[in-house]
Amino acid sequence: MSSSPAVHLGPDQREDLADAVREGGGRLVDLADAEAVVWAGGASTFPDSLPESVRWVQLPSAGIESWIEAGTVDTERTWTSAVGAYSDVVAEHAIGLLLAGMRGIVGSSRASSWLPDEVGPPQSTLKGATVAIVGAGGIGRAMIPTLTALGAEVIAVTRRGLPVEGAAETLPADRVSEVFDRADHVVLAAPATSETAALVGADELAAIGASGWLVNIARGSLVDTDALVEALNDGTLGGAALDVTDPEPLPDGHPLWSARNALITPHVANPQHLQTGALAERVAENVRRFATGDELVGVVDLDRGY
């Protein structure tokens, strides 16, 4: 590794990322001459093979399931994702979804006549409420200052259960089952792995309760969709605000579209036009770290799947 690492940028020469590579002290080269690769495209466009000289690859997304499924990520070099780079933007969307649900905005937006308070959609407040954040990584941690400023208490769930700043309590992942009946509302921000598949099913939805809202800005696979539809329609769950679904895209006519108290946004918590600056910052930082031999940000752990 040199003090001015040779970096290949693909699949095209995006000006903002090229500037970020140079800002980090790197120089742009062809793939054959590269020590590192910064990739701004998807797994389907990634090269079939890399030169042995490539020791590090920066991926553009926080979630890397598609890269693992494609067999792209290997153990021969270091891979980094963009995990944490988009946290503030996604956290903002998640809080918007939660507020839209619990303040009755979802129901009011579907009304066709003026409804007085006593017959309109039920409302609640974050003041004095308990919000559980399952998977309190970058996104979850970015939510906490706003939630607490509005008077909520936060229970954070992380892999190891180490204290999370601003949370009233932090639990390890193996105790996640405890939070569903303790929290007024639950936000899912955990990675999609074999351990988190269908993490939230009928029992968990019933535990959240008829006045609670489930917010999912992680991956649709964390929730049993059939159980969710049933819980929404029979009133077992107060409501669900989803930026991700299973299946995804959610087909026209799927019962979630017409489910009671469901708010769906089409996986837009991190829109493309807001990603560019955040990814460029991550690229510049990691190129600097690569040049100096420091630990890179967002290193992928294949054993964990993220």
- Active site amino acids: 219, 248, 267
C-alpha 130/C-alpha 128 separation (Å) is 7
Token pair of 300 as six digits: 């992928």
* DSSP for the chain, written as a single string: --SS-EEEEESS--HHHHHHHHHTT-EE--GGG-SEEEE-S-GGGS-S---TT--EEE-S-S--HHHHHTT---SSSEEE--TTTTHHHHHHHHHHHHHHHHTTHHHHHH-SS---TTTS-----STT-EEEEESTTHHHHHHHHHHHHTT-EEEEEESS----TT-SEEEEGGGGGGTTTT-SEEEE-----TTTTT-B-HHHHHHH-TT-EEEE-S-GGGB-HHHHHHHHHHTSSSEEEESS-SSSSPPTT-HHHHSTTEEE--S-SS-HHHHHHHHHHHHHHHHHHHHHTPPPTTB--TTTT-
- Rg of the chain over all Cα atoms, to the nearest angstrom: 21
Residue whose C-alpha is closest to residue 259's, from 288, 292, 234: 234
